[in-house]
Each structure stands twice: as structure tokens, then as C-alpha cells.
Amino acid sequence: MFGIYLKRELGRRKKAALVIALGLALGIALVITVNSVSAGMTQAQDKVLKSLYGLGTDMTVTKAQSAPKAGSSQGPNFKFDAKSSSKTTQSSDRVMTQGGQALASSLVTKVAAQKGVAEAVGAITLNVTKVDGSFTQGKAQSSTSGSSQQQGGPGGGTGSSSGGQPQVQGGGANFSVNSYSVAGIDVTNQDLGPLATSKITSGKTFTASQTDAKVAVISKSYAKSKKYKVGSTFKISGTKFTVIGIATPDSSESTTDVFIPLKQAQTLGDSKNKVTTIYVKATDSKQISTVKKTIQKNISGTTVTTSADLASTVSGSLSTASNLATSVGKWLSIAVLAAAFLVAALLTSSAVSRRVREFGTLKALGWPSRKVTRQVVGESMVNGLIGGGLGIALGLAAAYAVTAISPKLTAQLGNTGGGGGMGGGPGGGGPGQQSASSTMEIALSAPVSLTTIALAVGLAVTGGLIAGAMGGWRASRMRPADALRSVS
């Protein structure tokens, strides 16, 4: 009886039911779209952080760079052979550590022993500035111009001179400067640290036995610019390295050009038994903040930076879009939903007021108030579910459109301050001055999760209940006498 009556009544009021359903559908579709875009923003931000931070890395431990002493020079210093002949090519490398003050390698073991730490590895980041070029020696020549005038002797006379002091003509220098980044990694654990963000697309990666081998893995972009391939050799400060693999970043362009074993990097940077960054993986991702406090408490003088700390430094259009989706989008969704629920409730209540004769007659035939209320609520629930179905369809279509278009967003990672930030240096090898210029482009997607679908269904049911509750309450107050008064 309930189902038959429900079907007949909804069929009689198709327009009213459609208006209610569409109102709920628009609100639900907006919620799905905003939640999906917000999820896409989170994924995009995770790509940015992982590409600079290291896959599987939960935090990094660094130490802020100490202030330079008065009178000390921090600029590059190159020395060349002054006895070289004319047009002889000169070349010099200057290798400097980056990413804050160097830490003792023994701290890696100490950090790994802290409560809540699953594993920790050390890495060192270097910046190599290479200067190549040549000097050209000038030639001394005497002036032979007859028109040159000389101040005369006593009496102030002037006269012509057929000779003069020798002058050096020609000569000079022509040098090119090339700067690139080098990351020294622990080859025994490559799943944590700078190389974890890339995959080997040509050649092979390091083996556990190559802890002090003169081999290197280079980034795809650097290999292309230098025309290197597997088997090529190059020198850093006189040490020859052989390319064994070419790495391609998983999610963005890497800022590390060369990866070499940690011991070799320590030797090049004159930093024996030193690291600039310690990469840490926690046993429980939900306890990262607790682990951070533990490390800071037990290992003084260090800066512990988590992905949450780094996320606050991400700027660019990604950050702007994320803020809009989080604040404006969600508040707009709430406002539209509230309006949709209110409109549905008012339309349902208005429909009930036009059914005075119907409900009064049903009560006169013996229907109790609860049965009349159940009938109105049932009709509203069906309207809500129809609106939910339409809203899910519209929301999925909008999310699919965003994913298909894939708008490009830029993300720029700023310094976290004090030299203690992470991911700013080359290849995510810890903090560094290059972080301010680390900009990447991310394609936005709008993934729809089952949780979002469940939320949409819940909102549809809620909207139907709110509308049905208001209409049912009004219907339950009607009396058979009201039906008789409505008969003309």
C-alpha cells in the first residue's frame, strides 16, 4: 500500500519532485567537485614534497649554517698556473658543501636509535663550480705615430716624437663558468634519500659494494645537456667518474645533476665522516610530530623538518588554488547545501499545505498521524535519493572534466629559514640556497574517492530527512475537519 501510494503521488507531482531533486543535486555536485579538487591539490602538493623530500622520507635532520667570521671570505676562489704559456687552456673546480652546517656521520646511527624511527640515512650535498677557459698574452708595441706631441724642455716648447713608451696590446681572458649539483648518497640504502625520487631509465644503479667506487648516476636532463650516456666519463676536481646509470625523476624535474657514493662525495667536499642531511623514516606516519620532538630533545643543535613544515613554504599557483579550494570552495559548498536543504523543506511543506483535503480524508479513513508522516517522509527521501543520484553524476562529470583538462599549476618551494629546511637543496638533498628558485609544474587532477561518494549519499539522505521532517510535522497536525472545510 505504502509503495503503491508513494509511486502514484510522486507521479502526480513530477515537476515539484524534479525541482527538489535538482536543488539537492546541485549542492551535492558542488560538494563532490570541491572535495575532488581539494584531493587533487593534496596529491599535487605531495608530488612536490616527494620530489624534493624523498619517497618514504618523513622528516630530515639538518643543522643551521653558522655565521661567517668577521673578515672571512665566502666567495669562490680560483687559482691558475701563472707560468702557463699563451692560449693554454685553464680549468679549475671549486667544490662546496650545501644544505647547512655539516653533521658528524655518527649522528645518523644516533638518530636511527631514537624511539619511533624506523630507519635513517645520511647524505651530503655539494655544489661544483667549474671554470674553463684560457688566457691570451698581450704583446708590447712601441708608438710610431708622428703626430704625437711632447712637452718641450725649458721654455715650454713642443715638438714631434717619432717614438714613445711601449704599450701592451691584445691579450685577455675567455672563461666559461658551469655550476652543477652533486649528491653523495648511501648506496646501501637507496630507498631513502635523494635518489629515491627517481628511477633508473638507462644503465643500472649503485650496488651495495660500491660504497667508495668512482661511479656516478646522472639525471636525464643533465645527461642530455652534456651529451653523456652510460659509459661516459667526466672529472670532478681531477677525479674521474664513470656514468653507470641515468635517472629520471618520478614526478618532477630533479634539481640534482649527479649522484655519487657518499664516501667519494665526502672526499671531494673535504668533509670526511660528515653529512649535511639525515633522512628519517618513522615507524608510524601518525606519530611524526612526536618523533620530531624526540629527536630535537635528544640531539641538540639540530633542526628537524617534517613534510608539514615544508608544505607551508610551497607557494605559486598551486598554493593559491589550494587556498581557494579549501576556504572559498568549502564555504560555498556549505552555503549552497544549506540553501538546497531549505528550499527542499519549504517546497515539501508547501506541497503538504496543498494536500489538506488528501491528508484530512486519509485521517478520516483511519490513518494515524505517524502513517501520514511516514508517507511524507518517504516521498521526501525518494526525492533526496534522486537528487543524490543526479548530484553524483554531475559531480563525477565535473571531476572528470577537471582531470581531462589537467590545468597546469606551478609550485615554488621557499626556504624554511635558518638553513634548516629540507628539500631545498639540489635534488631534495636538504636545505640550501637553491630552494628559493626550485620551481616545478604540476598537472592538476580531481580524483573522486569512495568516501566522497558516501558523503554525497549521506547528504542526499540528510536533505530528504530534513524536508520530510518539516512536511511530515505539518501533515501530522492536520485533522479530518480541515478536509471538510476545504470542500467548496
List the chain domain ranges. Answer: 2-53+317-485, 59-66+88-131+174-309
Which among 302, 407, 319, 412 is positioned nearest to 52, based on CA atoms?
Answer: 412
Cβ pair 266, 211 in contact under 8 A: no
The answer for 250, left when phi > 0, alpha when psi is -120 to 50, beta otherwise, is alpha
Report residue 277 as a C-alpha cell. 642531511
pLDDT at res. 242: 96
Q: At what angle do helices 369-405 and 450-476 cross, to 10 degrees?
A: 150
Q: Which of 421, 411, 222 is nearest to 321 (CA)?
A: 411
Beta-bridge mates of residue 167: 141
Supply angle C-alpha 61, 62, 63, rounded to 5. Answer: 140
Question: Roughly what angle, to the nearest 10 degrees, separates helices 14-53 and 330-353?
Answer: 170
d(CA 83, CA 261): 36
Q: At what angle do helices 369-405 and 2-12 cross, to 10 degrees?
A: 60
Residues pairing with 168 in the sheet: 140
Note whether 296 and 74 are within 8 A (CB): no
Strand partners, 303: 62
Average pLDDT along the chain, 488 residues, taken 10 residues at a time: 65 75 85 84 70 63 69 58 58 79 90 92 90 73 53 48 61 77 92 86 93 94 92 92 91 76 92 91 85 90 80 63 66 79 78 71 74 79 85 90 82 49 39 45 81 85 81 70 56
Considering only CA atoms, give the Rg of the chain.
37
What b/e string do you get for 336-347 counting C-beta neighbours within 10 Å, with b at 16 or more? bbeebbebbbeb
The tally of CA atoms less than 13 A away on the side-chain side of residue 281 is 16
Cβ-contact 211, 187 below 8 angstroms: yes
Give which of 233, 278, 216, 339 is closest to 57, Cα–Cα: 278
Task: Indicate the pTM of the whole model.
Answer: 0.58
For the purposes of burial, counting CB atoms within 10 Å of the CB of 140, is it exposed (0-12), middle (13-18) or buried (19 or more)?
Answer: exposed
Three-state SS letters, the chain: CHHHHHHHHHHHCHHHHHHHHHHHHHHHHHHHHHHHHHHHHHHHHHHHHHHHHCCCCCEEEECCCCCCCCCCCCCCCCCCCCCCCCCCEEEEEEEEEECCCCEECHHHHHHHCCCCEEEEEEEEEEEEEEEEEEEECCEEECCCCCCCEEECCCCCCEEECCCCCCEEECCEEEEEEEEEEEEEECCCCCCCCHHHHEEEEEECCCCCCCCCCCEEEEEHHHHHHHCCCCCCEEEECCEEEEEEEEEEECCCCCCCCEEEEHHHHHHHCCCCCEECEEEEEECCHHHHHHHHHHHHHHCCCCEEEEHHHHHCCEECHHHHHHHHHHHHHHHHHHHHHHHHHHHHHHHHHHHHHCCHHHHHHHHHCCCCHHHHHHHHHHHHHHHHHHHHHHHHHHHHHHHHHHHHHCCEEEEEECCCCCCCCCCCCHHHCCCCHHHHHEEEEEECCCCCCHHHHHHHHHHHHHHHHHHHHHHHHHHHCCCHHHHHHCCC
Return d(Cα 399, Cα 240) in angstroms, integer: 52
